[in-house]
Amino acid sequence: MTGTVTHDPPPGGNRPGAPLIVTEDTALLDDLLRLCAAAGATPEVHHGLPGPRGSWEAAPLVLVGDDAARRARGAPRRHGVVLVGRDQDDPGVWRRAVEIGADHVLMLPDGEQWLVDRIADVAEGVGRPALTVGVIGGRGGAGASTLACALAVTSAREGLRTLLVDADPLGGGLDVALGGETAKGLRWPAFASSHGRVGGGALEESLPELHALRVLSWDRGDCLSVPPRAVRAVLAAARRGGGAVVVDLPRRVDEGVAEVLAQLDLALLVVPAELRAVAAAGRVASAVGMVLRDLRVAVRGPYAPGLDDHEVARLLGLPLVGDVPVEPALQRPYGTGRPPGVTGRGPLARFCREFWERALVEARTV
């Protein structure tokens, strides 16, 4: 018997990102529908194989119940087929997987989280993850938050989907720096109970939108931390949407910050060109370097006698990104002027634009 459980696909074809389920096992179907719901996907469901040139070929992911493996033998070979069963001790399941050309064999309930993640990936249309850049000050007042804001504003102005993440609960809030402290949207404390997988699209839509980018900042309440598992889930969701994610980092490393560092592609250490700042930056670099894979130095003037940007980089033993320009207009208190880099003009905006040009080229060659 071949039939369709009504999930009403739209006229003219399959829903983008809709997985296909093939099974007659009602208990298994209930479980798979539950997992699809958890992943934010509405599947197309068939008891047998769809017709020629139907959803078997078009669906981004096909979940075949072990009960339906025999009927799926004649289906065209394709990637993205998962054979789903329950009997951990059945050696024949691997033979049936080969017969239908399955990429994976999954046993419930052990494989539920893996399957939710896979379904959510196809539902969100996940491609290359966002280029994720952290910015950290070599000492207090180094200008790391200003540079983080300028990088994010520049990225958004250049047309990249951009998220700016404030990982420093004691920094006063990057929404304030962007003039959006009253903007509607969620802040970090709202995600304190998050675990497992957070939907990338849902996360982005829930955040304040300022200057064409989304901002995840802290509120003015008493919450000064969220659990590391929540940090991991939220930042992973931010990265799945592609584009660019910029993270303003604190100078301490706790469990939550370590979760952020582990997901960065690279980080910029902002160091004022003075000996005491270089000494402090060396300690920061040592701490974050235990987790971070790629740390580079950005030097900010004015320069103390005998120092230039190359000498600062040499003393720290880090690759040099360049000299971070200081613009007088940015010396005003946050919230009283334009956010850094918002006009697209001036030396700081030029520095940020050149940084993204180089970083994006590097990312495409990896």
DSSP 31-48: HHHHHHHHTT---EEESS
> In which band, very low, low, confident or very high, does the pLDDT at 11 lie, cut at 50, 70 and 90?
very low
| % of the chain residues with pLDDT over 70 | 90
pLDDT in tens, 106-129: 999 999 988 988 888 887 766 688
Dihedral sign for Cα atoms in the order 326, 140, 270, 283: positive
272 close to 300: Cβ distance less than 8 angstroms: yes
Which pLDDT does position 14 carry in this prediction? 44
Residue 83's DSSP bridge partners are: 64, 105
Q: Give dist(CA 17, CA 43) in Å, integer.
A: 9
Of 362, 344, 356, 299, the residue nearest 325 (C-alpha): 299
At 45, phi and psi to the nearest 5?
-120, 130
Residue 309 has pLDDT above 60, yes or no: yes
Residue 345 or 103, more confident: 103
Tens digit of each residue's pLDDT (9 = 90 or more) over 252-301: 999 999 999 999 999 999 999 999 999 999 999 999 988 898 999 999 98
pLDDT band at 207 (very low <50, low <70, confident <90, very high): very high
The string of pLDDT tens digits covering residues 148-171 is: 999 999 999 999 999 999 999 988
According to the model, what pLDDT value does residue 128 have? 80
Percent helix, strand and coil across the chain, each rounded to 5? Answer: 40, 15, 45
Interval 315-343 mean pLDDT: 75
**Confidence (pLDDT) at 343:** 79
CA 104 to CA 137: how far, in whole Å?
45
Specify the pairing of strand 209-210 against strand 266-272: unpaired
Look at residue 38 in the predicted model and tell me its pLDDT. 83
Q: 196 pLDDT exceeds 50?
A: yes
Which range is least confidently modeled, 11-25, 73-87, 110-124, 288-302? 11-25
Name 15's Cβ contacts closer than 8 Å, sequence gap at least 6: 9, 42, 44
**pLDDT tens column, 34-43:** 999 888 889 9
pLDDT of 3 > 60? The answer is: no
Per-residue model confidence as pLDDT tens digits over 54-67: 689 889 999 999 99
Q: What is the pLDDT of residue 9?
A: 36
Lowest pLDDT segment from 80-84, 114-118, 311-315, 333-337: 333-337
105 bridge partner residues? 83
Give the residue from 247, 244, 264, 266 showing the smallest Cα distance to 162: 244
| 349-363 pLDDT, tens digit each | 999 999 999 999 898
DSSP 3-state of 292: coil
CB 341 within 8 A of CB 352: yes
